[in-house]
Structure formats: C-alpha cells, structure tokens
C-alpha cells in the first residue's frame, strides 16, 4: 500500500472519481469522446481511481483496447450486477454524518460503523460481482495505478498499487464498497469501504504531477469532503496544469437520481461522450502542453 504511487517522470495523471455504476458509464463516455478528438488519456503516467473510477481505471489501464471495450459494454444493455439504491433514510444518515464530522477521517469512521452494521449481500458474492465487471483486467497493469479505499475503523484513506501485495480485484472491491449498500471488503484482517468517502475524486494523490485531468461524476463537496474543483484548484496552486470535468446539465439528466441503476449506463455514456467535445481544447492544452 502506498499514498504516493510510482511517480517516475511525474508528467501526466488521470484522476477518475466516484459515482456508481452510472457514473462509471459517464466516465467511459467522456474518455471515449476525448479519444474521438485524438486525446488519449489512457496513456497517463499515473491513474488514480476511486469507487466507480477504480473500475474504469483498472479497465483502461489493462492494455490496448480497454477503453473501447469498456465503452461498448455501457451500450450493450447487459447488466453486470443488479440495480441497487441508496434510499432516503440512508442518504439522511450520510448527511447527519457530515454535519457531525470535522475531518474526512471522522466522517469515514461514522460511515464505517454504518457499513459494518448494515445488512447486505455476502462479501464473497460482492467480490465475484466486481470480478465480473473487471473481466480480463484481473491483474495489476504495468503502468502506475492507485486504487483508493477507506479504513472502516479509522476512517483513514489508503491507496493500493501493484506493490501492495493486494490482488487488484480485492482493491477494487474495497474501493466500491458503498456504505449501507455493499459490504465492507476484508483485506489483511481489516475492513474497507468506498474510496469516494474521503473525497469524490481524491485528486490530491496526483500531487507532484505536471499535468492532471480529473474526470469526476460527482461535483459535490462539503465542509469535510473536498470537491473535485477544490482539489483541482489546490493542484493548480502548486504549479500543475489541471482540467476538472464534471457532468454538465445534459449529463446530469442522463445520469439521473439513482447512480446505482445500470439501466441508465447507456444514456450516461452517450452524454459523457457528447460532453467531451466542450472540454477538448482545454484538455489538449493541459495534456500536451
């Protein structure tokens, strides 16, 4: 496990944020739309993935064709998992946890307790579902990839990489363990929850890289959870060229209110691909200098 990853060269970093199954579809669409314009973000020297972004990051880092296959899967109508829902009572508990927390770690501990007590599917069944979503991307790629997760007991953020000794499927399962929806994942005797709990993008993990693009399905932030825009601004203040992409109005409509319903993946992917056109010029300036 590492907090910094392999930063050899420290040139380009792609940060992929949290946002559920539908957010993952939107991310795939944005990346595919940028590729339409000749900008291939899958060549990043570092990829950081949280929750939905963990799946997308693992898939696109797996080798040539990873992005094309991922995008087409969003359109094929086949569900890799059943629909889930973060109901109003659980949303209210999230909101209360934010109000009562002073730091991301305290927020993580509160949601960790919630996650440990919630009735969900069996942990092994959830891991098998994530493994199906990863498909051939079952092993750590050669390029640097960080997968985030939050310790359910301490609330601390960790970022797994190929040197952690943790199988990629386990790391991604932990990163996708939405409190109250999916069971915490067990790694080395500790329980882990969604990496997007610490922040929806965790773009701070790209600190030290010269050029950073953040693709985040959720633009939200709070007094304890920094928004992608705030994290992007912090990176820019430190000297990096940064572009932050979050859903525009059309994409928000396509994503809908339930980011865990796979029925919305295709619309979100198409909306993301269309939205990419409005970011092409800015991303090109960041990515190619």
Q: Which residues are catalytic?
A: 51, 194
Dihedral of alpha carbons 133, 112, 140, 231, sign? positive
Q: What is the dihedral of CA 178, 258, 17, 185, to 10 degrees?
A: 20
Angle between helices 66-75 and 265-275 (to 10 degrees): 130
| Cα–Cα separations (whole angstroms), residue 37 to 54, 106, 138, 152 | 24, 42, 29, 41
- Say which residue the tokens 């900008």 belong to: 39
Return the closest-CA partner of residue 142 out of 118, 128, 163.
Answer: 163
Q: What are phi and psi of 184, to 5 degrees?
A: -60, 145
Q: What residues form DSSP beta bridges with 159?
A: 2, 148
> How far is CA 61 from each of CA 19, 43, 134, 147, rounded to the nearest angstrom?
19, 8, 11, 12
Give the Cβ contact number of residue 76 at 10 Å.
9
């Amino acid at each position: 496990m590492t907090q910094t990853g392999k930063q050899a060269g420290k040139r380009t970093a792609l940060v992929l944020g949290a946002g559920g199954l539908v957010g993952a579809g939107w991310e795939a669409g944005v990346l595919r739309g940028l590729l339409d314009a000749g900008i291939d973000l899958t060549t990043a020297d570092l990829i950081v993935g949280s929750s939905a972004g963990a799946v997308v990051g693992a898939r696109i880092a797996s080798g040539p064709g990873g992005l094309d296959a991922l995008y087409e899967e969003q359109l094929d109508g086949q569900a890799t998992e059943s629909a889930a829902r973060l109901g109003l009572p659980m949303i209210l508990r999230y909101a209360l946890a934010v109000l009562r927390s002073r730091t991301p770690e305290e927020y993580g501990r509160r949601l960790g307790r919630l996650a440990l007590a919630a009735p969900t599917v069996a942990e092994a069944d959830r891991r098998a579902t994530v493994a199906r979503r990863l498909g051939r991307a079952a092993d750590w790629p050669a390029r640097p990839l960080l997968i985030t997760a939050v310790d359910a007991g301490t609330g601390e953020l960790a970022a797994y990489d190929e040197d952690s000794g943790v199988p990629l499927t386990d790391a991604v399962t932990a990163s996708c363990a939405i409190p109250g929806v999916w069971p915490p994942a067990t790694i080395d005797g500790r329980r882990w929850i969604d990496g997007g709990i610490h922040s929806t993008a965790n773009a701070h993990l790209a600190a030290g890289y010269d050029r950073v693009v953040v693709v985040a399905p959720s633009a939200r932030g709070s007094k304890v959870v920094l928004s992608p825009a705030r994290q992007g601004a912090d990176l820019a203040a430190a000297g990096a060229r940064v572009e932050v992409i979050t859903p525009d109005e059309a994409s928000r409509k396509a994503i809908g209110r339930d980011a865990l319903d796979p029925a919305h993946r295709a619309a979100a992917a198409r909306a993301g691909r269309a939205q990419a056109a409005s970011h092409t010029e800015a991303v090109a300036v960041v990515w190619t200098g």
